[in-house]
Amino acid sequence: MNKDRLMQVLLNPVVSEKSTIAADASRQFVFSVMPDATKYEIRKAVELMFDVKVDAVRVVNSKGKNKRFGRLMGRRNNTRKAYVRLAEGGDIDFGGLS
């Protein structure tokens, strides 16, 4: 597995009410990922970047909505999110303010 590719797989963490509740309840974190990323690549990228053990990866593809900009019709981009569950005892601290 190419290390440069793994560093580009995770785009950003998704911070929402739903993702915060999932992180607190079941050690599950949500990331926006590249559209062509596989579950195996996502698992390896999280383990490489955050030095944790990944238990499971689930992926959700969302189609972009059609939106109107004045008289013009536009389209939002398709997105891909990964729900990553960490093994027992694993934790990711995004803020570092502890």
Phi, then psi, of 16 in degrees rounded to 5: -145, 175
* Residues of the domain holding 77: 3-86
pLDDT in tens, 4-20: 999 999 999 999 999 99
Q: Any idea what DSSP says for residue 27? A: S
Residue 72 included in any domain: yes
CATH for 24: 3.30.70.330
Residue 18: what residue type? K
Length of the chain, in residues: 98
Residue 69 included in any domain: yes
Contacts of 75 (CB under 8 A, 6+ apart): 64, 65, 66, 67
Residue 92 included in any domain: no
Residue 97 included in any domain: no
Q: For the chain, what is the domain count?
A: 1
pLDDT digits (tens), the chain, 98 positions: 789 999 999 999 999 999 999 988 899 999 999 999 999 999 999 999 999 999 999 999 999 999 999 999 999 999 999 999 999 888 887 776 45
